[in-house]
Amino acid sequence: MILRRPAVADQFYPGDPDRLHYEIGKLMGDQSGNEKAVAVISPHAGYMYSGHVAGAVFSKIRIPPTCIILGPNHTGFGAPISVMSEGIWQMPMGDVAIDSPLAKRILEYYPEAEEDVEAHLYEHSLEVQVPFLQYKQNDLKICPICLSRLSFEESRRLGEAISRAVSETDLDVLIVASTDMTHYESGDVANEKDRLAIERILSMDPEGLYNTVLLNQITMCGFIPTVVTLVAAMGLGATKARLIKYATSGDITGDYRQVVGYSSFIIQ
């Protein structure tokens, strides 16, 4: 049995389970939301900076027992399209099992993806989503997918493989795309660049988002997971995206000279 231990507990979020539970409760606020979502987009910075943006989206939706989490590979380790298909993620609020049948089905339908652990061991972008999911779903299973730079065609085919895999199960599945927005630009520049990306997400335009990010040099680290998620969600019948919250690190620090942007969306 593969055991993945937390990589960023006590750095990005509290490592003590009681403190973490309390912190997420504060970040979510009103947790009575029970909307059914096909997918969400959520940021992955330290909870001090982006937790309120993530909490805003997770507070509004029902978290099903199975969640596919897609995030960018920040470490450079492992396979370019890395699916962890077996094992347990040991998290402060309890262990989370991987949904092996679903993960293996995605690997079957997208042979270019690799069964890989290394990309996940130290990656924070997927890990920081898990406590929010656990908070509202005690019996959580995940399918973690860590992505490096892909072409749009590769992203499209992966999204289609995910939607096919989900549609052929009886599971209620939520897809979570993990991304931050513009990195280390002024607040004004970040707002303008992020607006361009947000418009493409709201238009449910994955190829437009891909091209907009490249054309405008938007440093949106998880744009590939977001593109894949949009394709997958549309394949599962989603027709609309809703911006739940946008903020920057400057809103926390008061320093708008260099900020990181954060956004969250519900896709239905």
Q: What is the pLDDT of residues 127-149, one digit of tens each?
A: 999 999 999 999 999 999 999 99
The predicted model gives 87-111 an average pLDDT of 98
* pLDDT one-digit tens code per residue, 184-215: 999 999 999 999 999 999 999 999 999 999 99
Domain ranges of the chain: 3-267
Which pLDDT does position 183 carry in this prediction? 98
Tell me the CA distances in angstroms from 105 to 73, 88, 147, 155, 184, one per residue in order. 22, 18, 17, 17, 38
* Predicted pLDDT at 1: 83
Q: Pairing mode, if any, of strands 94-98 and 141-147?
A: parallel
Neighbouring residues of 89: CB distance < 8 A, sequence distance ≥ 6: 4, 95, 96, 97, 98, 127, 130, 142, 144
Asked if residues 118 and 77 have their Cβ atoms less than 8 Å apart, the reply is: yes
Q: Which CATH architecture has domain 3-267?
A: 3-Layer(aba) Sandwich (3.40)
pLDDT band at 16 (very low <50, low <70, confident <90, very high): very high
- Please report the pLDDT score of residue 40 as a whole number: 99
